[in-house]
Amino acid sequence: MLENSMLYPRNSKTRRTVSLDGMWKIKFDPDSEGREKRWQDGLKDADLIPVPASFADFYTDKDIREYTGDFWYETDVFVPEEWKGNKVFVRFGCATHRAVVFVNGKEITSHEGGFLPLLADITENTRFNEFNRVSVLVNNELTVTNIPCGETRVLKNGKKMSKPYFDFYNYSGLQRPVKLVMVPEEYVFDFTVDHKLFGSDAEVSYSVVTTGKHPVEVRVLDEEGREVALSSGREGKLVIKNVRPWEVLDSYLYTFAVRILDGSRIIDEYTEEIGIRTVEVVHDSILINQKPVYLKGFGKHEDSDIVGRGFNIGMMKRDFECMKWTGANSFRTSHYPYSEEIYQMADREGFLVIDEVAAVGMFESLMNFMEASTGKKTAFFEKETTPQLLENHLKAIEEMITRDKNHACVIAWSLLNEPETTDKAAVPYFEKVFAKAHELDVQKRPRTFALVMNSLPGTCSCYQFADIISLNRYYGWYMMGGYEISDAEEAFRREMDEWKELGLDRPFLFTEYGADTSAMEHKLPSVMWSQEYQMEYLKMCHRVFDSYSFIKGEQVWNFADFQTTEGIMRVNGNKKGIFTRQRQPKDAAWYFRERWKSLPRDY
């Protein structure tokens, strides 16, 4: 069990949250001297910066944008007198990639992993009815023992530089909402649900973990606020008659209110809106509420102008509107768990989410995602550093599943993106990763990982672990692009025929396929990078998908253009978006709208 509660901070009869979003102080610490020089006692000559946001794209100075190393954030937080006798936390949606939190100069906690929450219990060090200084020492260096994987290089001029093994910009900082949270001394620490549907009724099994001994009750309210089920005890079953299940693109959310009681006195109350649905893989079908579904949608990124990977509520709204407009029903949180607010929105919109842990870059070489298709032997998983990497990976899986398990939208876990699987050394690593997810998830959702181009039926030693086989394929882009596209289609079909011959009786998904396309470029006849070629490429892929009945979904790469490290392969970022980075449609968006709006649910 995790040390801290992962429950989303909400107000209730007994709980309080105060947003700490706004302008914070920031100061870079290139010599890592801050801690020794006691910067935790107050930052001098600091700049001001918005939270939540990545720091990189606010500045006009390239040394700041590319800054790699330690940096500090600081703000003053007023803690009300009335909160005395309760527990007080500062909760960061994330601190990328690792952080140490200080309150009033005292070190409170630290956390590794930049895409999951960090909770600092400041109860003991809070001065009530006064301002308290919260300082955070963040570090954004990449290593091969942490996820996502990469390296940090030192240039001849002494400056550090991030070398990601992955294809997205190494944005960092306090990128998600920060909240001051008060809960009672005895509080609801964790809450888990699992659903079964029987005819028109549902049975929800639940379990509650609290920090004390008082009795627990759980009640369920419908969207009109009517109580539809009630049960007492830390574990139990709630029966909901004439249930309205959560459906694909037709959401319905019940409110679950978990209470700790002392007679009629409510010691703590925690509420969560939860959709009731089942997910299963049966033969080669993905079933939601026992009915097959075909996934249509995107691999995404949390990425936008100026704020980088910072959570942006307006961008979130726009993204869902664009996705709905195309007729999509799903997305993958490539390549890291997203802000919790995005899953709440997906719950509300009835979107299906493949929730991916930040296990990306698990190839030896730099620009690994490119080298991956060359078949180069690397044996990433038999290095001295592998045990440490595995430990961090397993911890991130535990945090992700604990955080996201109750979301109806989460229908599968993606446990790695494009790892090296051609060497047998990957097998024991995969075994542990897949077992961990199975053990932790009471709903036993399907597990998957995205297979890189060289992970083929004859070369991949790990596909057997996946309940859903997810392929990232770029026939017609990274290989046999342009006028060779007819050969690409032939090679693509050959691979799919080989999968078919294996007779795996499992659903296949395309979690990536795409072609870089400049929104400015038109050319007749097509050339690579033109909008015309993107369409030609997509139509070729869809012809292949439509030929195999075990293919149960297509998530194109990418929803929108996004920022990457600079280099000869990228023109100021990855341009495979169906939308531009400003969320305006390329021609392909209209094509998807036509295709997806006409595909039946169980295509």
Beta bridge partners of 509: 470
Q: Please identify, using beta-carbon distances, which residue of 100 and 450 lies nearer to ligand GCB.
A: 450
Q: How far is the CB of 360 from ligand GCB (least distance, A)?
A: 7
Q: Please identify, using beta-carbon distances, which residue of 333 and 472 lies nearer to ligand GCB.
A: 472
Residue 136 half-sphere exposure, CB side, CA atoms within 13 Å? 29
Q: How far is the CB of 452 from ligand GCB (least distance, A)?
A: 6
Question: Does residue 574 interact with ligand GCB by CB under 6 A?
Answer: yes
Q: How far is the CB of 511 from ligand GCB (least distance, A)?
A: 8
Q: Please identify, using beta-carbon distances, which residue of 73 and 529 lies nearer to ligand GCB.
A: 529
Question: Does residue 512 interact with ligand GCB by CB under 6 A?
Answer: yes
Question: Does residue 302 interact with ligand GCB by CB under 6 A?
Answer: no
Of the candidates 273, 512, 532, 554, the residue annotated as catalytic is 512
Question: Does residue 576 interact with ligand GCB by CB under 6 A?
Answer: yes
Question: Does residue 575 interact with ligand GCB by CB under 6 A?
Answer: no
Question: Does residue 529 interact with ligand GCB by CB under 6 A?
Answer: no
8 Å CB contact between 136 and 92: yes
Place of tokens 């690409």: 488
3-state class percentages of the chain: helix first, strand second, coil last, to nearest 5: 20, 35, 45
Total site size for ligand GCB, rule CB under 6 A: 11
Integer Cα distance of 278 and 55 in angstroms? 40
Contacts of 226 (CB under 8 A, 6+ apart): none
Q: Where are the alpha helices (DSSP H) in 48-129?
A: 62-65
Question: Does residue 418 interact with ligand GCB by CB under 6 A?
Answer: yes
Place of tokens 């809960």: 183
Report which residue's Cβ sits closest to ligand GCB: 167
Q: Please identify, using beta-carbon distances, which residue of 9 and 553 lies nearer to ligand GCB.
A: 553
Q: Please identify, using beta-carbon distances, which residue of 43 and 362 lies nearer to ligand GCB.
A: 362
Integer Cα distance of 83 and 108 in angstroms? 19
8 Å CB contact between 203 and 237: yes
Contact pick of 58, 298, 369, 381 for ligand GCB (by CB under 6 A): 369
Residue 400: strand, helix, or coil: helix
Integer Cα distance of 538 and 413 in angstroms? 26
Q: Please identify, using beta-carbon distances, which residue of 370 and 394 lies nearer to ligand GCB.
A: 370
Q: How far is the CB of 562 from ligand GCB (least distance, A)?
A: 8
Q: Where are the alpha helices (DSSP H) in 274-378?
A: 313-326, 340-349, 368-371
Contacts of 224 (CB under 8 A, 6+ apart): none
Q: Please identify, using beta-carbon distances, which residue of 402 and 417 lies nearer to ligand GCB.
A: 417
Q: How far is the CB of 454 from ligand GCB (least distance, A)?
A: 11
8 Å CB contact between 122 and 77: no
Question: Does residue 332 interact with ligand GCB by CB under 6 A?
Answer: no
Beta bridge partners of 572: none
| The residue type at 224 | E
418 catalytic? Reply is yes
Integer Cα distance of 235 and 216 in angstroms? 9
495 catalytic? Reply is no
Question: Does residue 140 interact with ligand GCB by CB under 6 A?
Answer: no
**Would strands 201-210 and 235-240 be described as parallel, antiparallel, or unpaired?**
antiparallel
Integer Cα distance of 352 and 360 in angstroms? 21
Integer Cα distance of 183 and 122 in angstroms? 12
Binding string to ligand GCB for residues 376 to 415, with x set by CB under 6 A, is what? ----------------------------------------
Question: Does residue 179 interact with ligand GCB by CB under 6 A?
Answer: no
Question: Does residue 417 interact with ligand GCB by CB under 6 A?
Answer: yes
Q: Please identify, using beta-carbon distances, which residue of 388 and 580 lies nearer to ligand GCB.
A: 580
Q: How far is the CB of 219 from ligand GCB (least distance, A)?
A: 43
Question: Does residue 169 interact with ligand GCB by CB under 6 A?
Answer: no
Rounded to 10 deg, the angle between the 313-326 and 587-598 helix axes is: 60
DSSP letters, 504-543, are: --S-EEEEE----B-TT---SS--TBSHHHHHHHHHHHHH
Please give the residues from 219 up to 278 whose contact with ligand GCB meets the rule CB under 6 A. none
Question: Does residue 557 interact with ligand GCB by CB under 6 A?
Answer: yes
Contact pick of 70, 112, 141, 167 for ligand GCB (by CB under 6 A): 167
Of 563, 545, 562, whose CA–CA distance to 554 is shortest? 545
Of the candidates 418, 420, 489, 532, the residue annotated as catalytic is 418
Angle at 78 between CA 179 and CA 95, to 5 degrees: 30
Question: Does residue 68 interact with ligand GCB by CB under 6 A?
Answer: no
Q: How far is the CB of 576 from ligand GCB (least distance, A)?
A: 5
Contacts of 86 (CB under 8 A, 6+ apart): 123, 182, 183, 184, 185
Q: How far is the CB of 307 from ligand GCB (least distance, A)?
A: 20
| The residue type at 345 | M
**Residues comprising the chain, all counted:** 603
* Radius of gyration for the alpha carbons in the chain, expressed in angstroms and rounded: 24
Contact pick of 472, 517, 526, 530 for ligand GCB (by CB under 6 A): 472
Q: How far is the CB of 268 from ligand GCB (least distance, A)?
A: 42
Q: How far is the CB of 574 from ligand GCB (least distance, A)?
A: 5
> Which residues are tagged catalytic?
418, 512
Site for ligand GCB, rule CB under 6 A: 166-167, 335, 369, 417-418, 472, 512, 557, 574, 576
